[in-house]
Amino acid sequence: MLNRDSANFRDPKVSWYTNPETGESYWVMVAVEATQYQVVFYRSDNLIDWTYLSTFGPANATGGIWEVPDLIPMTVKETGETKWVLIVNLNPGSPAGGSGAQYFVGEFDGTTFTAENIVTLDDEQVAGTVLEDFEFASWAGSGWTVANQAGNVADGPFGLGPYPGTIPGQQQVVGYRGERLVNSFVGNDWPVGTLTSAPFTVTSDWLNVLFGGGNHPRVEGSQLGNEPPAGTLMWNGFEVTPGQTLADFGWTGTGDLQAANSPSDSGGDYAIGNYRINTWAGGPKGDDNVGTLTSPSFTIDGDHISFLIGGGREKDTTLQVQLVVDPQVVRTATGADDGALQWRSWDVSDLQGRSAQLRVVDETTGGWGHLTLDHVVMGDEPAKPRSAETTVNLVIGGEVVASATGSNSETLDWAAWNTSAWIGQSAQVVIIDNNRFGWGHILVDDIVAADAPQQRRIVRFDWLDWGPDYYAADSYSNVPDGRHILQGWMSNWNYANFTPTSPWRSAMALPREITLHRLGGGYEIASAPVGSVNDLQVKRGSVRRGNIRVTDSTLVLPFSSDAYMLEVTVAPGDADIAGVAVRTDADYSATAGEGTLSGIDTATNRVFVDRTRSGDVSFSTSFASVDGAPLVNIDGSYTFTVYVDRSSVEVYAEDGFRAITSQIFPDPQSLGLSLVSQGGTARFQKIVAVPLATSVHTGNRGRGWSP
């Protein structure tokens, strides 16, 4: 095999190919050179000796690395012709952010794949008034104000002015317009700071911003600094004089973690002062140290106990900080597999006057088998978490009213902010880089005032699924009747290591049959769960309803299940949102309660899944999301099917041309189902909910998560 000199040659998929003209047959292998965004093709007659054929790419979505390619010949349903489909998974760079699966349609002649659906920016139309394009060399006199933690503009993340493209050491930046852009990779990812525009007046319904960079969203109530809350600093913040240890503060230890070995002056970015508790350094074994450290008793005399915590994350009691009262564990906290310490707070207002102890428990070995704790404060207000954002924000009246973050990609795309409610008001754009670790930078280019939202570039590409949790999709070989069955991993590398499941993580999406269609002058894939999924239906307990009008409210249906198939046909009418909320609790409404909302957004002409209130969303700032796909046919009435499970929803709409797969982690008791209309009256023409079993032989339901 030819040495491609690539450190990221990976993920081969092999299939048998017969040339329809010559009859010659041989094995064809597709693989990727992941960081070059290339699919490479090889042939072999014996599965041992391989000959290089050709290379495809880069093309379309190149936001992350390319992975898991698959080459499939498919018959077009409408014409009977044969087209070849090349599936290329990538991470990050999907429409929902993070991991995803795109596809190309074209011809393969046994040597070369030629795609017919490659999209370029040559025909991109950008309407409106450009408020800023950053086509200048210096921040001085530009109207933009730089504030860096370093104090020196040249040493900050934004440098002396907009940068002409890619900074040395950075992956190639693509998709910006003109010659320069904001690029906070100056000094690599370490420096942090802000860049603020001069005030301007909002004059249009939309503000469109071209941006990219790291995926670190804004967290409400956070702070850009690392200031502790007001209150009593306990144990002097673990700051010791030479010769002092935790034992001098009355702490005791067990196992490898003896009080005389702590605190430590190592580990824990964003620690305050010189010393902190670090169980990695608290004994002789590093991550294999096990034991406990327990404080002396103290009286709870504030409403909140706040502290900086970092290190490993576990969902059981083997690695955590505990608050112990009489002698029960009443509060716990863990790290996030991160060396950077972050503020956490416990509300202890119900424990006023009680005697308590703080206990550090480390019974975990191996990677991230340690915990770091610093600066414990008891007071009446909780700590504000430190922002780690890389964002571009619209600020009006001193408040952030719109915010966007990157997708861990150097490829720029558009964000569209609806500013119609603030026309005539003064505004500023604030660009924030407050992250000094991986993908800790932000890219910003044109800022455009317009009458309509700018189409995201990424929606012009072809995707197998528009949700956040469909990745590494691959087809089965030799399926009977020439069908094409595909299955994907139901997760996303943005948070795959942190999902609240134990002792396992991740599941597979339902296997799908895919078909290829001639549509709108091109070719598109439609998908649907394999027919055998219908064998899991349990007729008992099903609900069928029709012709129900819901006006700007939520209507509860008499149905309860943790795994079911839901078919909906709805005419949104004048409603802004028309859909169904699944896995709801008793308090679910348009503004409160737990539930996952799927349906039609008429303002953006999308089918969507809103999991912002779906249950546990706390484990990652990337998880609480609203994800959607553009509608194919806008005709006033829409049918979509939702497969609901203990830890997932899979939505199929527009005759399968749109699919959205999302993990959810609801309370096990959230089993309700509601019809939802917002902003007007929607008519639900048909609702069918049918429970599903795990197999045709048992009534146990659910494939997924159980707490």
For 552-592, strand residue ranges (E) read: 554-556, 564-571, 577-584
pLDDT of residue 699 exceeding 60, the answer is no
Structure-token match 């571009």, residue found: 392
The pairing of strands 606-610 and 596-601 is antiparallel
pLDDT-based confidence at residue 705 (cuts at 50, 70, 90): very low
pLDDT digits (tens, 9 = 90+) for 513-524: 999 999 988 999
pLDDT-based confidence at residue 603 (cuts at 50, 70, 90): confident
Q: 129: buried, middle or exposed (CB in 10 Å: 19+, 13-18, 0-12)?
A: exposed
pLDDT digits (tens, 9 = 90+) for 40-66: 999 999 999 999 999 999 999 998 899
pLDDT at 706: 35
Q: How far apart are the C-alpha atoms of 354 and 331, rounded to whole Å?
A: 14
Q: Work out whether the CA dihedral 145, 147, 152, 153 comes out positive or negative.
A: negative
pLDDT at 64: 84
pLDDT-based confidence at residue 698 (cuts at 50, 70, 90): very low
pLDDT at 702: 43
pLDDT of residue 674 exceeding 90, the answer is yes
pLDDT of residue 428 exceeding 80, the answer is yes
pLDDT over 70 percentage in the chain:
97
pLDDT at 703: 43
pLDDT at 632: 83
pLDDT-based confidence at residue 700 (cuts at 50, 70, 90): very low
pLDDT digits (tens, 9 = 90+) for 199-235: 999 999 999 999 999 999 998 889 999 999 999 999 9
User: Please, are residues 118 and 427 in contact by the beta-carbon 8 Å criterion?
Assistant: no
pLDDT of residue 707 exceeding 60, the answer is no
pLDDT, the chain, mean: 93
Rounded to a whole number of angstroms, the CA Rg of the chain reads: 28
CA angle 78, 658, 497 (to 5 degrees): 135
Of 604 and 280, the one with more pLDDT: 280
Q: How far apart are the C-alpha atoms of 114 and 108, rounded to whole Å?
A: 6
Of 702 and 596, the one with more pLDDT: 596
pLDDT digits (tens, 9 = 90+) for 310-339: 999 876 689 999 999 988 999 999 998 888
Q: How far apart are the C-alpha atoms of 317 and 339, rounded to whole Å?
A: 20
Q: How far apart are the C-alpha atoms of 626 and 628, rounded to whole Å?
A: 7
pLDDT over 90 percentage in the chain:
85
pLDDT digits (tens, 9 = 90+) for 117-137: 999 988 899 999 999 999 999
Average pLDDT (574-585) is 96
C-alpha closest to that of 427 among 399, 447, 404: 399
pLDDT digits (tens, 9 = 90+) for 462-507: 999 999 999 999 999 999 999 999 999 999 999 998 899 877 888 9
pTM summary value? 0.84
